[in-house]
Structure 1
Amino acid sequence: MISTRLQFSLGFLVGAFFVFSGSDSGGNNVILGRNSVISSNRTSRQFPFFPVFWGVGLVRFLNDECDAGNGFVGTCYTRKECNYLGGSNIAYCANHAGACCVFQETCGGSSDLNNTYFVSPGFPSTYTGGSSCVFTIVKQEDACQVRLDFLTLNLAQPNSNGTCNTDALVVTGGASIVPVLCGENSGQHIYVDFNGNTSITVSIFVRSSTVSRSWNIRVRQINCNCPWRAPAGCLQWYESLSGTVRSFNYGSSSVLNGTRQLANMNYGVCVAMAPGYCGIEWSQSSDTYGFSVTGDTFTAVGDGTVGTTSASLTGDDCTTDFVVIPAPILESNNTPLNTDRFCGNGFPTVISYSKQFVLTVVTNGNEVNDTGNRGFSLSFSQVLCDGSLLFGK
């Protein structure tokens, strides 16, 4: 889980009384005051009686996440520690005993603190500078993984071959292989495993001073024994019963330079199997371009086949760009398919009972002939072990 440390903060109380701090029968640390109990699930430690003099009391709280407002998540520290660590005291936390502290870093910065935001220079204003920007994630002692949330990530589009030759986000230093990204990726996320104690570097290379770009990337380190640590091989990890998975640079705006689909992708998208659920259904989203992975999408639009199963290709027809779903079964007639590859300009609804729930994404290094491809937007819904879908669908 995200690291937490026990902190102490002085607050003003009315009257003089004694405070006792110790452990309850469940091993929880407690502080007993006049009319209050503050508990935290931490290791058991004993503290002696000590007096609280007139007007002053001692309050203890965890460095938990807190709502800093305006879409920011902070960490609850004492005000003094927040200032010492270089954070911004955005809001109160711990019943006004602490400061909801937000950390922002930009080009050349580094941090080992959770809920650090790596932002473009001058954010939220756009950045047109022509120099590259590097941020270093310093590993915490008990961390094994990093989650990067692209709250805002708007970079230059790829060229007609799907290559990020103007702007590029590159992640290095980790044990995970992360593809090079560009274009519109706000709302996406990735997980990266640490490689020993080596720091992870997030670099954004920019090669034009005429592009208006911006980014705001939330950084969270995850402990080795955390239940929501992503499994090995999962660049993306979803823990909901249903949701939507989109390829990188899948966007609602028109296709530029021939394609929005990025070249040289090879990664896994995983969904945590919930208790009582044994399968997962994958279907094309309501967007007409919800699955436009190979071939001439503009032609499919012209003849009215885009987004239909007649434009769907499978198996040996999918050799360059495709998604892989293990052991798929056609939802329409409950027939198992003899292939796990899907491509083309349409997608048939399928169900898979293979464990773990994973969607593999592959694109090659040549997108020139894939005119108008946007990528994919696929919805998933977990299937109960009795065979019924979520919400009785």
Structure 2
Amino acid sequence: MSTVSLILCLALMLHVTSACDGPNEQQQLAASRQQSDEYFANAYGFTPETWSAFSYQPSNPYYAPEYSGHYEGRTSLNSLQPINENNPFNKYFANSNNVEVEQSQAENRFLLGGLGANLINTGIFNNRFTPANTWRPFQNLANRFPAAITLNPNIGDPLTTFDACKSPTGEDGICVPGSICSLFRGRPSGSCVFGKVCCINTITTCGGTVTLNNTFWQSPSTAVNSPSTCALTVRMDTKLVEQIKRPICQVRLDFISFTTAQPTVGTCSDTFVVGGSASSTPVICGDNTGQHMYLDVPSSAITPTDIQLMFSFAAGVTATRSWNIKIAMLPCGASYLAPVDCLQYFSSATGKVKSFNWQDVTSTATRQLNNQNYNICFRTELVSGQRATQMCVSICTVTNGGDAFYITTPAAVVTAATTFLTVVTTTAGATSQSNVGTTVSSTGNPAFVVATCLYDFLQIASGQDATTGVEADRFCGNQLNPARGADLLNPGLATSTQVCTSIRPFRMTFKTDGTEAAIAAVTPPTVPAVAGADAANTGFCLDYQEK
């Protein structure tokens, strides 16, 4: 009897449904499909073939040109592509090529359940009934699926991939299924969870576009000719599948290796330039292995941004040019973002910080770069369970004849004289002395003002001698010491000391002007004082420690 009653109830339900739909059924189905298409377009950036996108389709595949060359590292044109060129998820469904399923059993087991929940939530079933009919037999059907299905609705959802990973050899990569690693021409190295691989993505060409986190840009295997340029674009846009869930706010460049021609009297002939970011980045050259940069960009969820990285190689210069730059895309809101306006950012309690092109080598040429102006920032770390209250710096230990601190020639070589010309061209042997402040006044006839740390300097707010407490904020010369001399002939001390600051957040500013030559003419306010010619400036290398 109960069976007969159940059959009668089902028949009555279908009859009522048909009666309510009437002659408008075809229009309602069309409206339902339109709403479903709009859902997919808004959520995923493509419009599927709603009624057949998830089923096996044995028709002949065709090429998708925009997938083959739109981004650096995509598959070649002769590779077979998924049948729907606008669907970024086609790789995750069966097709006529019998693509191997990369996901684990745990991910596959809920495929149909997740699909059912998605289709129901898009309104395909709920909108099946007219607005006048308030009876919705399928309205709460999605809620009847287990919670696990809503957490994992699709097999190998590409929106949850592309997490950072580290290979057994220490290389940084991204976690993706093996087929996706091949799609981007990456190199699998190690494994991630759910059967994914740690994919190492490397580009060795000029003129490409990067959209993947942790991409390595390496110099071509053949020698770089000069004059020439080699550029790369870093694209950030949440419309890209690989970035859709993580808006980008910063890019970090790590110079795994970086060798170009040395500067000539501080001015680069070979240049590395960054364009398109909100950060003020200096032009650099020379040897910068181990250095890094943070580049600020507007949130890619609001404003898609392209950053250009470009090398320019000068003619007539014989030099080795090679590089390997890791490009990391840092999501908005991450705890490891650098503070605004910090070109370099250090996040450990101890470490080493160097100016660009500083090396521990004996050299009579200028290694310090002209036109530098950037902030170096340090995260306040926990020391013995408490936040650090001060940061101290001291010059690095050198073993190969390098100079750990030499930012500008001490003012002592600019001896008192009766004319500006004599003052700025005197090149008596420089003694190893520190300099602080901005200018000093002579007692000669006529009196004149001589620059000390006015044009080239390292700024440490409230920098104090760790022993004596003597304080200064601008440091130059070829020793690091806040002590001030009495006059031009005694600008500072001949020894370096540890300098500490308690001003938080901890930061330093490095600035140089555009010349190493003497400044003989005063044109206030831009050139307020004369200065002697610099010789063999090296920049700085400092060990830092938070206490």
State the Cα distance separating 1:72 from its structure 2 match. Answer: 2.4
Among candidates 338, 341, 356, match of residue 505 of structure 2: 356
Shift of 1:351: 1.0
The letter for the 2-side match of 1:359 is: M
**1:370 corresponds to:** 534
- SS across alignment from 1:327: strand
- Give distance in 2, aligned partners of 1:232 and 1:129: 36
Match of 2:233 in 1: 136
Structure 2, unmatched stretches of 5+, are 1-91, 93-100, 114-145, 239-246, 414-427, 439-451, 482-497, 518-532
**How many Å separate the matches in 2 of 1:259 and 1:274?**
35
Q: Separation in 1 of the partners of 2:372 and 2:355?
A: 10
Whether 1:228 aligns to 2:323 is no
Q: Who is 2:464 aligned against?
A: 329
Q: Distance in 2 between matches of 1:226 and 1:235?
A: 17
Q: Give the Å deviation of 1:312.
A: 0.9
Pairing 1:1-393 to 2, within 5 Å after superposition: 9-11=102-104, 46-47=148-149, 62-89=161-188, 91-94=189-192, 97-105=195-203, 106-122=205-221, 127-141=224-238, 142-160=247-265, 162-165=266-269, 167-195=270-298, 196-208=303-315, 210-255=318-363, 258-275=365-382, 276=386, 277-287=388-398, 289-295=403-409, 306=432, 311-316=433-438, 317-333=452-468, 335-337=469-471, 339-348=472-481, 349-368=498-517, 369-383=533-547
Task: Give the CA deviation at 1:79.
Answer: 0.8
Bigger Rg, structure 1 or 2: 2
Q: How many residues align?
A: 332
Q: CA deviation at 1:380?
A: 0.7
Residues 1:48 and 1:192: Cα distance change in structure 2 (over 3 Å): closer
Q: Deviations over 1:265-301 (max 9, x none)?
A: 010000001142111011111126110111179x9xx
Query: Structure 1's 321 and 128: CA in aligned 2 closer, same or farther, altered over 3 A?
Result: same
**Residues 370 and 59 of structure 1, relative CA distance in 2, 3 Å threshold:** same
TM-score by length of 1: 0.76
Change (3 A) 1:304 1:263: closer
Percent sequence identity over aligned pairs: 32
Amino acid of the structure 2 residue aligned with 1:173: G
CA distance in 2 between counterparts of 1:156 and 1:45 reads 60
> Which residue number corresponds to residue 24 of structure 2?
none
1:315 counterpart letter in structure 2: G
Kept in 1: contact 2:168–2:190 (CA 8 A):
no
Displacement of 1:68 after TM fit? 3.2
Secondary structure of 1:158's partner?
coil
Cα separation, partners in 2 of 1:363 and 1:94, compared to 1, 3 Å:
same
Local SS of the residue matching 1:81: helix
Letter in 1 for 2:228: S
Aligned-residue offset at 1:336: 4.3
Partner SS state of residue 370, structure 2:
coil
Whole-Å Cα distance in 2 between the matches of residues 246 and 49 of structure 1?
47
Per mean C-alpha deviation after superposition, the further-off stretch among 105-114 and 190-199 is: 190-199
Higher helix proportion: 2
CA distance in 2, matches of 1:145, 1:48: 31
Mean CA deviation greater in 319-328 or 207-216: 207-216
Aligned Cα root-mean-square deviation (Å): 3.2
1:128–1:213 CA contact under 8 A, matched in 2? no
Aligned-residue offset at 1:21: 12
SS of residue paired to 1:82: helix
What TM-score, normalized by structure 2, do the two folds share? 0.56
Distance between the aligned counterparts of 1:350 and 1:225, measured in 2? 33
SS in 1 for 2:251: strand
Match of 2:149, SS state, is coil
Residue identity matched to 1:312: S
Counterpart Cα distance in 2 of 1:168 and 1:350: 33
- Shift of the alpha carbon at 1:10? 2.8
Moved over 4 A (4+): 17-22, 57-62, 302-305
Once the 2 structures are TM-superposed, how far is the Cα of residue 145 of structure 1 from its aligned partner? 0.7
8 Å CA contact 1:148–1:190 kept in 2: the answer is yes
Q: Distance in 1 between matches of 2:232 and 2:407?
A: 33
Deviation at 1:330, TM superposition (A): 1.2
Deviation digits for residues 208-262 of structure 1 (CA, Å, limit 9, x no counterpart): 3732210000001111101110001100000000111000000123336x30000
Q: How far apart are the structure 2 equivalents of 1:187 and 1:155?
A: 14
Task: Evaluate the alpha carbon distance shift between residue 18 and residue 99 of structure 1 in structure 2; reply closer, same or farther with a 3 A threshold.
Answer: closer
Q: Do 2:250 and 2:329's aligned partners in 1 also have CA atoms closer than 8 Å?
A: yes
Offset from partner CA, 1:89-108 (integer Å, 9 cap, x none): 2x231268222211122211
Give the 3 Å change call, closer, same or farther, for CA 82–247 of structure 1 in structure 2: same
CA contact (8 A) 1:21 1:46 kept: no
User: Matched residue of 1:278: which SS?
Assistant: coil
Asked if the contact 2:407–2:456 (Cα under 8 Å) also holds between the matched residues in 1, the reply is yes
Matching residue's letter, 2:103: L
